[in-house]
Amino acid sequence: MRLLTRPYTPAHLTIDPSAEAFVSDPTATFDAPAWRRRLRVAQGQEPADLVLAGGEIVDVFGGDTYQADVAICDGVIAGVGPYPQARDRLDVAGKWICPSFIDAHVHTESALVWLPEFARAVVPHGTGAVVTDPHEIANVAGLSGMEAMRAAARGLPLGIFFTTPSCVPASHWESPGAAFGPAEMAEMLGWPECVGLGELMNFPGVLIGDDDIAAKLAVSAGTRRDGHAPGLVGAALQAYVGAGPGSDHESTTLDEGWEKLRAGQMVMIREGSSARNMAALLPLVTDATYPRCCFCSDDRDVHTLLHDGHIDVTLRQAIALGLDPVRAIRLATWNAADYWRLDGWGAVAPGFRANLVVLDDLHEVHVDMTLHDGKIVARDGAICDGTVAESAIPDNLRDSVHIGPLRLRDLRLAPAAAKVAVGVIPGEIATRLVEIEPEMHDSWAVAAPERELLKLVCVERHHATGRVGVGYVRGFGLRQGALASSIAHDAHNIIAVGADDGDLLLAIMTVAESGGGLAVVANGQVLARLALPVAGILSDRPLPEVAVAYAALEDAARALGSQLPSPFGLLAFMALSVIPEARVTDRGFVHVG
């Protein structure tokens, strides 16, 4: 307010503690004794719980590093500076202390593991928080599934923030397990852990001013809204961004990223398992633009998480491409926290949560240890014992697979529906609609592996309706047998591909009997399987076990002749009715747009 031409110190003022305090409504939630203790620790009047001593602080505000101690009290950073007093003191001289990393947009379901196992996998890599859009679970289990996620997230050594799924179901050709509309979204947006609207994938719906979108924008007013608009530019981008989405992770070219940034979007540079945009987008990060960029993984599969890592890999890559390490860390911490308004996250400064990473090497981003709320939770690449409790499958996500009676004749393909096929495009999840001559046997269209024609079957599995869609697919490359999976974006019915109806039936039944999962079958034998009992889409086992089983499934599929780099990865998209041009859902063959 007013000018003081010389600084003055507290000693100048006499405060009378007995003075009239205008306290008319002290709330119960403010922990005044803890606050006072932290004030004393900060001022060196009382020992800290833990002091990280002598490290180089990675200062995301100042953009450099400096040597100081970090004093931690009740899981919060009390002060950064010289702190000789501590109950516990950890010498980190020669190491770097930075905020733990934040994945600004991820679907944890892509890792095929349940939240505790996800935390166990990423925390040793320095990940401190993720903003997750749990729309896979939402498609299976709706709001009840969201509540199970929320419950599972509590107590983990990882901050799990949610965005509320905005596009369930993906289209009206899909049959998800549960509806998830504005009412459910509003409920979820009321959670403190829910930081905004999840990626608004239905951008065509936005552009035409769809009623459903209007309702979803209405319930999310005043929150952050995440965007999803691959390739959208020009006037359509202006319209889309003006409708609300303040961020986007779908840019694949520098021009697209630049246009979105200029339109006001936070650009989330994505390095996922399949979508990798760092090389294309890193030139976007300049002195002028870096505050408007952050990092996300979107989807990280079991292999990538296990063998590469998480945001630490992304940082290494950015630094190798020439980004200053402190700036790279700023993108991975403060920028993400600030955009999502995760107050108390993303910096090594007083009042911030002591969610920290100690690095052995700044340029290599080599994680020595991870701290969560002031406790060491991972060290030397491994989670600390007792940090993550055993996974338990929530009751409402168990036994989610319910199919009607399924007989061989349900898999028959009528000639009228067999004049077109889903045409696989190598290296893409988009497909072509191809016209074909059906292979006939006993008045029914059948698989003809020698002509690259297989059958694609989708079985409704949430409500045991008995609904089955059957069509042809060309280019999947199986010479015999069948694959089945209850991971089938976005409705997660059971999708199967095969050269033989008997094998198809066995593969589907194997998946159903596992409560969801993946299976490879040939000649009436189950060659490989992985149970996914959590909502039919996630394992409850640790990531390394899942990785071994998944590799065995892929090997088995390859042995049956599939030349695809990721046969189950592609199969999971064969029922997704919002990606052009052809799909098979439980409602049959769908020509998309």
- Closer residue to a second copy in complex, CB, 66/523: 66
Please tell me whether residue 23 binds a second copy under the rule CB under 8 A.
yes
> What letters, b where the CB count within 10 A reaches 16 and e where it falls short, cover 182-200?
bebbeebbeeeebbbbbbb
Rounded to whole angstroms, the Cα distance separating 333 from 59 reads: 11
Q: Which one, of 82, 31, 20, 17, lies nearest residue 52 by Cα? A: 82
Footprint of a second copy on residues 559-588 (CB under 8 A)?
Answer: 573, 576, 578-580
Please tell me whether residue 437 binds a second copy under the rule CB under 8 A.
no
C-alpha distances (whole Å) from 405 to each of 127, 402, 484, 507, 536 are 45, 10, 17, 15, 18
User: Which of 191, 280, 350, 566 is the binder for a second copy (CB under 8 A)?
Assistant: 350
Count residues contacting a second copy (CB under 8 A)? Answer: 133
User: Which of 190, 386, 405, 593 is the binder for a second copy (CB under 8 A)?
Assistant: 593
Residues in a beta bridge with 194: 162
User: Which of 11, 307, 385, 450 is the binder for a second copy (CB under 8 A)?
Assistant: 11
C-alpha distances (whole Å) from 367 to each of 95, 123, 227, 364 are 10, 10, 31, 9
Please tell me whether residue 239 binds a second copy under the rule CB under 8 A.
yes
Q: Which is it for the CA torsion 47, 49, 53, 58, positive or negative?
A: negative
Helix (H, G, I), strand (E, B) or coil at 527: strand
User: Which of 84, 155, 322, 351 is the binder for a second copy (CB under 8 A)?
Assistant: 351
- Closer residue to a second copy in complex, CB, 36/407: 36
User: Which of 93, 214, 320, 464 is the binder for a second copy (CB under 8 A)?
Assistant: 214
Give the CA-trace dihedral at 426, 429, 434, 436, to 10 degrees.
70
Footprint of a second copy on residues 121-140 (CB under 8 A)?
Answer: 133, 135
Q: Which stretch binds a second copy (CB under 8 A): 234-242, 375-383, 384-392, 447-455?
A: 234-242
CB 255 within 8 A of CB 241: no
Please tell me whether residue 206 binds a second copy under the rule CB under 8 A.
yes
The DSSP code for 37 is H
Q: Which stretch binds a second copy (CB under 8 A): 47-55, 425-433, 448-456, 466-474?
A: 425-433
Q: How far is the CB of 334 from a second copy (least distance, A)?
A: 9
Q: Which stretch binds a second copy (CB under 8 A): 176-184, 366-374, 383-391, 527-535?
A: 176-184
Distance of CA 394 to the CA centre of its chain: 20
Please tell me whether residue 1 binds a second copy under the rule CB under 8 A.
yes
Q: How many CB atoms lie within 10 A of CB 263?
A: 16
Please tell me whether residue 112 binds a second copy under the rule CB under 8 A.
no
Q: Which stretch binds a second copy (CB under 8 A): 262-270, 304-312, 362-370, 522-530?
A: 262-270
Q: Which stretch binds a second copy (CB under 8 A): 55-63, 114-122, 365-373, 415-423?
A: 55-63
Rounded to whole angstroms, the Cα distance separating 85 from 46 reads: 7
- Closer residue to a second copy in complex, CB, 350/404: 350
User: Which of 427, 466, 524, 544 is the binder for a second copy (CB under 8 A)?
Assistant: 427
- Closer residue to a second copy in complex, CB, 208/382: 208
482-485/517-522 β-pairing? antiparallel
Helix (H, G, I), strand (E, B) or coil at 36: helix
Please tell me whether residue 291 binds a second copy under the rule CB under 8 A.
yes
CB 159 within 8 A of CB 128: yes
User: Which of 154, 211, 307, 435 is the binder for a second copy (CB under 8 A)?
Assistant: 211
Please tell me whether residue 62 binds a second copy under the rule CB under 8 A.
yes
Please tell me whether residue 460 binds a second copy under the rule CB under 8 A.
no
Footprint of a second copy on residues 305-324 (CB under 8 A)?
Answer: none
Rounded to whole angstroms, the Cα distance separating 122 from 332 reads: 14
